[in-house]
Chains A and B, each alone.
Chain A
């Protein structure tokens, strides 16, 4: 991507909290577009797969022929999955039978913390974002139970559970940076997209 073109990041908009991601991206001066059909991927420099119900998003992705185009796009371009999006990016989701892209070398367990009454928010240290902790919101969240190959752990809860991972130009977070005002993770992802295009 040359300096003269404005970066354009897509947000998968099949179901879930896609509007929050679009708003944050626009606040940061990036062009943001909703992706519902394969053609919507055209001209994008990066993609965010948002939180929502992973079974719903998976079924709609299959029905509208998005799985292979998304996989192809994500192999070539920076892609970030939050919560349901993290499940979508993982290679291994245990016994769950749902359509996934199967790209990142991680094992993810769905609804790992229990039901909604166990959903929580917590201050999370994330070294790549600097000293100030990131206020992270976990909603019926998944967790990463294994990391292999070149996948790097970016953040753990106090008890050691892995909740953020980077593997090359792929990013996965179990929590929802789109629900809080702190945009450091979005900026981190925008830098990934910028490096890739440079």
Chain B
């Protein structure tokens, strides 16, 4: 396993600054799930700021069931060769060997993702052990800061992946943003207790209170299907958007992908949002999360 290194020429690689820095460069952008090099080209041409390479989009993982694992490195490598934008790939929660393999392959970011079947029901990956940066999902501030403490360099809301229903992404974004707003008005005594209650390290809670935001970039994910969904998440204070099944499960992926990219840039300009929302063809059919059996939900994975 590689560790953070200082080289002869004074260059330091794998530092928190460069790990978090790439996420800062992705802000205001859209990261799209792709399953083939052709999809990856469509995403890049539409203006995606990165792609997530995986074998099945979350909607298909739901439909087909079974154990969902890291994708075949060959398939990820083909996608890395097809595009010049950063390529991310998913590993199972706690599966640090899948992460070692993806680091050896040279992916730009690893998503330790609840969308895949968890490999460890108590421990997440110790992400400080890697030079490659990680993004992790969260439903609230405590979960976000636990992941940052483990070395996550980027956070995303979990939402409910593969549903095309934005309600859970909104719930998780509002939870995080609302908790941060409350933190900023607390005194030190209250911060100690709050940190204990949300099971997050005090230092990170204090840093978040001082910054008035998470110490790392925070994207929305899990259920974004339309330009309006994407702009909604941006107006709720997210730094950017992941779109999974929403693009390649829709009627006209190229057009919808481009429209979502433009909606994220111009998220507070209703005239642009009106234009890009027109005539996009069919959206993904979707599953209503509210009427979904509890056991089918995946956002509860992660500890």
Q: Which residues does A use to contact B, with CB under 8 Å?
A: 13-20, 36, 51-53, 55-56, 59-60, 63, 83-84, 96, 110-111, 114-123, 137-140, 157-159, 176, 179-180
With A36-B266, A63-B262, A121-B15 as known contacts, state yes or no: A53 contacts B21, CB within 8 Å: no
List, sorted by A's number, 9 A–B pairs whose CB atoms are closer than 8 Å: A19-B27, A36-B265, A53-B29, A115-B107, A117-B108, A137-B18, A138-B18, A140-B108, A176-B25
Residues of chain A within 8 A (CB-CB) of B266 are 36
CB distance from B38 to the nearest CB of A (A): 17
Complex contact A121–B18 (CB within 8 A): yes
Complex contact A55–B265 (CB within 8 A): no
With A15-B28, A15-B265 as known contacts, state yes or no: A52 contacts B11, CB within 8 Å: no
The 8 Å CB contact of A158, one of B9, B21, B131, is B9
Q: Is the interface of A mostly helix, strand, loop or mixed?
A: loop
1/0 per residue, CB under 8 A from A, across B39-59: the answer is 000001111111000000000
Residues of chain A within 8 A (CB-CB) of B64 are none
Complex contact A120–B18 (CB within 8 A): yes
Q: How far is the CA of A114 from the CA of B11 in the complex (A)?
A: 14
Residues of chain A within 8 A (CB-CB) of B10 are 122-123, 158
Residues of chain B within 8 A (CB-CB) of A176 are 21, 25
With A117-B13, A121-B11, A121-B15 as known contacts, state yes or no: A15 contacts B108, CB within 8 Å: no
Residues of chain B within 8 A (CB-CB) of A19 are 27
With A14-B265, A16-B29 as known contacts, state yes or no: A119 contacts B22, CB within 8 Å: yes
Complex contact B28–A18 (CB within 8 A): yes
CB distance from A179 to the nearest CB of B (A): 5
Other A-B pairs, 13, CB within 8 Å; known A117-B131, A123-B10: A14-B265, A15-B49, A16-B26, A36-B269, A51-B24, A53-B49, A56-B261, A83-B25, A117-B14, A119-B22, A140-B86, A158-B10, A176-B21
- B164 near A: Cβ within 8 Å? no
CB distance from A174 to the nearest CB of B (A): 13
Q: How far is the CA of A55 from the CA of B83 in the complex (A)?
A: 10
With A36-B266, A116-B108, A121-B15 as known contacts, state yes or no: A139 contacts B21, CB within 8 Å: yes
Complex contact A120–B29 (CB within 8 A): no
Residues 1-40 of B contacting A (Cβ, < 8 Å): 2, 7, 9-15, 17-18, 21-22, 24-29
Complex contact B9–A56 (CB within 8 A): no
Residues of chain A within 8 A (CB-CB) of B26 are 16, 52-53
The 8 Å CB contact of A52, one of B29, B103, B133, B261, is B29
Complex contact B25–A17 (CB within 8 A): yes
The 8 Å CB contact of A16, one of B2, B27, B107, B131, is B27
Residues of chain A within 8 A (CB-CB) of B235 are none
- Which residue of B is nearest A59, CB measured? B47
Residues of chain A within 8 A (CB-CB) of B11 are 120-122
Complex contact B109–A60 (CB within 8 A): no
Complex contact A137–B17 (CB within 8 A): yes
With A13-B28, A18-B28, A111-B84 as known contacts, state yes or no: A55 contacts B9, CB within 8 Å: no
- B106 near A: Cβ within 8 Å? yes
Complex contact B18–A139 (CB within 8 A): yes
Complex contact A51–B25 (CB within 8 A): yes
Residues of chain B within 8 A (CB-CB) of A110 are 84
The 8 Å CB contact of A119, one of B18, B29, B261, is B18
CB distance from B235 to the nearest CB of A (A): 15
Candidate in A16, A83, A119, A159 with the most chain B CB atoms within 10 angstroms: A119
Residues of chain B within 8 A (CB-CB) of A13 are 28, 265
Complex contact B17–A121 (CB within 8 A): yes
1/0 per residue, CB under 8 A from A, across B223-265: the answer is 0000000000000000000000000000000000000011011
- B61 near A: Cβ within 8 Å? no
CB distance from A81 to the nearest CB of B (A): 14
With A17-B27, A60-B262, A115-B106 as known contacts, state yes or no: A140 contacts B22, CB within 8 Å: yes
- Which residue of A is nearest B268, CB measured? A36
The 8 Å CB contact of A159, one of B9, B18, B29, B106, is B9
Q: How far is the CA of A122 from the CA of B7 in the complex (A)?
A: 10
Complex contact A60–B17 (CB within 8 A): no
Q: How far is the CA of A14 from the CA of B267 in the complex (A)?
A: 11
